[in-house]
Amino acid sequence: MPAQYLSQAAQRIVKESHAKSDCVNGQFLDTPIGKGGKVDDTSVVVGEIIEWTEAHTQIWSEVRRNRRWKDVISCGGMQCGVARHPCSCEGDDDEKSRFRGRSEDASEDSSDEEEGVCSIA
């Protein structure tokens, strides 16, 4: 990789991180160290530039394909099984309700639920 590309990438990262400390409408922004702050005190950037090879592309494609199959097999990340509670999700009660598309106290008279089958709407 030509050195000029690395230099351009580094300059862009610094420019973007400093941009959040720029003056807006003639007013300085609030920063952790006070009004306006200093650009070098308000930004931390950690990064690494790596060469992306054909091997990376193949491995990444396999990872994405495996994630899609896992989602299909697990009903989009839900655990399926028992009648009366066919699907659950790893999270708090609000998340469970959101993923199920119903509240915990909703009626459980659907045919899918009676059979313990998981369906995705």
pTM greater than 0.85 (yes/no): no
Strand, coil or helix: 4: helix
- Answer yes or no: do 59 and 105 share one domain: yes
- Answer yes or no: do 45 and 60 share one domain: no
- Answer yes or no: do 8 and 36 share one domain: yes
DSSP labels, 11-36:
HHHHHHHHHTTS-BTTBPPEETTEES
- Answer yes or no: do 59 and 114 share one domain: yes
- Answer yes or no: do 14 and 70 share one domain: no
The residue range of the domain holding 28 is: 1-51
- Answer yes or no: do 18 and 72 share one domain: no
- Answer yes or no: do 73 and 18 share one domain: no
- Reported as a single tens digit per residue, the pLDDT across 12-37 is 888 887 776 667 777 776 766 666 66
CA distance 59 to 56: 5
- Answer yes or no: do 3 and 34 share one domain: yes
- Reported as a single tens digit per residue, the pLDDT across 79-104 is 555 554 555 554 445 544 444 444 44
* Total structural domains within the chain: 2
